[in-house]
């Protein structure tokens, strides 16, 4: 091989590969640490990509594939797919993309576990007459079952989550009668069949059939677990599936005896679980509520159907600008509509203008505003909004009482008072931004349509609220030009 690098096999397996894996694992951890802060998130992402590259190169070297052309071809193909996805997918479609990536991770782990079983047991003549536990050693055999089980659950669950988010199937919870019993049967059934084929079967046909049965049962379980979840609980499920994909990768790491896969899988599994916990707290749900409760379901609430409004006050940009001229303190509350309208740069322009007139400006960031964790932070960072002006919910809520105007840009559920005031509401108990405590609230959105949770928002009828109907970017541009004209007059 002309393009191959000549290395001594002993040195490669005993020294080079373990060192590369160790460096890769440490780089993954460093990358994840970077992701914990907005300021260092981009760098963290880059370190994660470098760690992945190191892991891939080490694996190719370990397998004896050291022809650098494969590494270059892999780099080019992977980068092209990644770059295409990053440019093509709109920011608002990120959760769907994350769901697909999770599914791909779970599916890959499942396929690796199945092919390992195939190569080392079903097609291996020396394993005839032995149990899988004997042929593969017990830990590897058990990990193979878990790799198939968790991988299949992650794959089918993520596909259902993707279809729900895309609107191809109803985003509302679908509650099948007796689902808990069915799920328990599926779970213990797949574990039981897995245990049977690992410890008791010795003929290859039964092993193959049993592996297929585990795959099918786990696939149905994945669908059954995600189908009853909907509405505002979807982000929690996406992050939980993310954690599952890490656990599946970790199980595959045990199957392949690959340390970096065990470590990186465990990192994804643990960070996914931590994010799931943070999101459950942000939405005042326990994980059990999310998984078994069908809580995202839209019910008829005390405040009536989502389209039924009494009197709402609607202002033009000119009238609203007059209110803003007198404001000494302004808080912007961005939501999903800001992302749709791509209005982050105009928000910044309006904020600068208000500051130049002597007003204090801050941004109230709800943890689940938008359609993915950190959505608003990413958008506002794009417009170079100073980090210190971004206030988390617990910090901004006490400030609303002293705020003159809160400008709510394309947010709806995260400022809905029903969460606090209506025990029967689907979002009851979800911590929200208490914007109504401010002197005046201005809601910028195109209509009185509901947000993600599909429910009415009584804030729109409050006496201290003003609706400014229109696309967020156009309305904000209107406010900017009105304020500029007022300053010039
Ligand atoms: P929201 O409740 O979904 O409301 C967004 C509002 O934006 C809509 O009512 C819509 O009203 C308005 N809008 C859309 N396009 C607009 C445009 N071009 N200009 C102006 N307004 C526009 O959003 P949110 O308050 O940010 O709450 C997020 C919701 O999504 C929560 O229920 C959360 O649980 C859920 N969720 C969050 C995540 C996450 O991880 N962050 C993931 C999935 C789901 P009009 O149509 O009338 O304009």
Per-residue pLDDT tens digits for 366-393: 988 987 778 898 889 889 899 889 999 9
Query: Residue 88: its pLDDT value, please?
Result: 85
Query: Residue 256: its pLDDT value, please?
Result: 87
Residues with CB under 6 A from ligand 1: 95, 232, 234-235, 335-337, 340-341, 368-373, 375, 410-414, 444-447, 449, 451-453, 471-472
What count of Cα atoms within 13 Å lies in the side-chain half-sphere of residue 472? 28
> What stretches in the chain show pLDDT beneath 70?
1-12, 65-66, 171, 231-232, 293-307
471 part of the active site = no
Helix spans in 118-178 (H) = 132-136, 138-166
Q: How far is the CA of 470 from the centre of ligand 1 (A)?
A: 14
**Catalytic option among 203, 233, 413, 471:** 413
CATH of 317-488, one of 3.40.50.300, 3.30.1300.10, 3.40.50.1700, 3.40.50.1220: 3.40.50.1220
Query: Residue 301: its pLDDT value, please?
Result: 46
Query: Residue 138: its pLDDT value, please?
Result: 87
Residue 35, burial from CB neighbour count under 10 angstroms (0-12, 13-18, 19+): middle
Which residue lies with its CA nearest to atom 36 of ligand 1? 371
For the chain, the domains span 1-85, 92-293, 317-488
Instruction: Pick the closest to residue 336 from 115, 167, 82, 92 (CA basis).
Output: 92
Q: For residue 164, what are the CA distances in angstroms to 92, 153, 168, 341, 440?
A: 14, 16, 6, 23, 36
Which residue lies with its CA nearest to atom 38 of ligand 1? 371
Q: Tokens for 189, please give them.
A: 């059934």
Instruction: Pick the closest to residue 419 from 405, 404, 435 (CA basis).
Output: 435
Give 161's contacts (C-beta < 8 A, 6+ positions apart): 99, 226, 234, 237, 238, 241
Among 368, 407, 416, 418, the mutation site with the greatest number of ligand 1 atoms within 8 A of its Cβ is 368
Distance, CA of 278 to CA of 36 (rounded, Å) = 13
Q: How far is the CA of 365 from the centre of ligand 1 (A)?
A: 13
Among 337, 378, 407, the mutation site with the greatest number of ligand 1 atoms within 8 A of its Cβ is 337
Q: How far is the CA of 204 from the centre of ligand 1 (A)?
A: 53
Q: How far is the CA of 337 from the centre of ligand 1 (A)?
A: 5
Task: Say what angle helices 179-199 and 204-226 make with each other, to 10 degrees.
Answer: 160
Nearest ligand 1 atom to alpha carbon 449: 47
Are 25 and 263 in contact by the 8 Å Cβ rule? The answer is: yes
Which residue lies with its CA nearest to atom 15 of ligand 1? 337
Q: For residue 24, what are the CA distances in angstroms to 52, 55, 260?
A: 7, 6, 7
Neighbours of 254 (CB within 10 A): 20
Which residue lies with its CA nearest to atom 1 of ligand 1? 451
Nearest ligand 1 atom to alpha carbon 430: 34
Which residue lies with its CA nearest to atom 42 of ligand 1? 371
Among 370, 444, 454, 471, the mutation site with the greatest number of ligand 1 atoms within 8 A of its Cβ is 370
Among 452, 469, 470, 476, the mutation site with the greatest number of ligand 1 atoms within 8 A of its Cβ is 452
Query: Residue 333: its pLDDT value, please?
Result: 98
Are 382 and 344 in contact by the 8 Å Cβ rule? The answer is: yes
Q: How far is the CA of 410 from the centre of ligand 1 (A)?
A: 6
Q: How far is the CA of 103 from the centre of ligand 1 (A)?
A: 25
Q: How far is the CA of 112 from the centre of ligand 1 (A)?
A: 39
Which residue lies with its CA nearest to atom 48 of ligand 1? 446
Nearest ligand 1 atom to alpha carbon 427: 32
Q: Tokens for 266, please give them.
A: 């465990």
Query: Residue 59: its pLDDT value, please?
Result: 85
Q: How far is the CA of 452 from the centre of ligand 1 (A)?
A: 6
Are 150 and 106 in contact by the 8 Å Cβ rule? The answer is: yes
Which residue lies with its CA nearest to atom 8 of ligand 1? 451
The pTM (predicted TM-score) of the whole model is 0.75
Give 335's contacts (C-beta < 8 A, 6+ positions apart): 366, 369, 370, 376, 408, 409, 410, 411, 412, 413, 414, 415, 451
Q: For residue 193, what are the CA distances in angstroms to 186, 190, 312, 388?
A: 10, 5, 60, 55
Instruction: Pick the closest to residue 442 from 455, 460, 428 (CA basis).
Output: 460
């Amino acid at each position: 091989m002309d393009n191959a690098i000549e290395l001594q096999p002993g040195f490669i397996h005993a020294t080079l590969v373990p060192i590369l894996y160790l460096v890769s694992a440490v780089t993954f951890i460093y990358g994840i640490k970077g992701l914990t802060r907005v300021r260092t998130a981009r760098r963290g992402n880059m370190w994660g990509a470098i760690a992945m590259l190191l892991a891939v190169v080490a694996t190719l070297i370990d397998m004896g594939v050291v022809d650098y052309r494969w590494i270059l071809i892999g780099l080019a193909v992977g980068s092209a797919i990644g770059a295409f996805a990053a440019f093509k997918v709109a920011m608002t479609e990120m959760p769907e993309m994350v769901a697909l990536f999770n599914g791909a991770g779970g599916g890959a782990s499942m396929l690796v576990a199945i092919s390992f079983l195939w190569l080392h047991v079903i097609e291996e003549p020396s394993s005839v007459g032995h149990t899988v536990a004997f042929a593969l050693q017990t830990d590897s055999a058990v990990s193979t079952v878990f790799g198939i089980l968790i991988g299949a659950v992650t794959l089918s669950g993520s596909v259902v989550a993707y279809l729900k988010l895309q609107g191809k199937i109803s985003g509302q919870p679908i509650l099948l009668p007796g689902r808990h019993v069915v799920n328990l049967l599926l779970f213990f059934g797949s574990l039981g069949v897995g245990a049977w084929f690992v410890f008791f079967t010795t003929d290859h046909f039964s092993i193959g059939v049993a592996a297929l049965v585990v795959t099918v049962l786990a696939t149905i379980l994945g669908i059954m677990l995600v189908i009853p979840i909907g509405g505002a609980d979807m982000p929690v499920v996406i992050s939980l599936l993310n954690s599952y994909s890490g656990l599946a990768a970790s199980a595959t790491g045990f199957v392949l005896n690959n340390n970096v896969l065990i470590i990186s899988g465990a990192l994804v599994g643990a960070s996914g679980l931590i994010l799931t916990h943070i999101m459950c707290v942000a939405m005042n749900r326990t994980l059990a509520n999310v998984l078994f409760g069908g809580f995202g379901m839209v019910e008829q609430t005390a405040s009536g159907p989502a389209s039924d409004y009494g009197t709402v006050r609607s202002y033009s940009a000119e009238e609203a600008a007059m209110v803003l001229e007198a404001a000494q303190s302004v808080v912007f509350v961005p939501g999903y509509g800001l992302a749709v309208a791509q209005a982050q740069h105009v928000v910044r322009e309006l904020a600068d203008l208000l500051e130049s007139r002597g007003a204090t400006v801050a941004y109230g960031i709800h943890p689940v505003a938008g359609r993915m964790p950190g959505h608003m932070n990413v958008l506002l960072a794009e417009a170079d909004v100073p980090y210190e002006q971004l206030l988390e919910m617990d910090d901004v809520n006490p400030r609303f009482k002293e705020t003159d105007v809160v400008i709510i840009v394309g947010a709806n559920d995260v400022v809905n008072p029903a969460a606090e005031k209506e025990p029967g509401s689907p979002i009851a108990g979800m911590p929200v931004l208490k914007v109504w405590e401010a002197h005046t609230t201005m809601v910028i959105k195109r209509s009185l349509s509901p947000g993600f949770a599909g429910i009415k928002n009584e804030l729109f009828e409050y006496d201290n609220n003003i609706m400014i109907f229109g696309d967020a970017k156009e309305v904000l541009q209107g406010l900017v030009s009105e304020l500029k004209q007022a300053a010039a007059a």
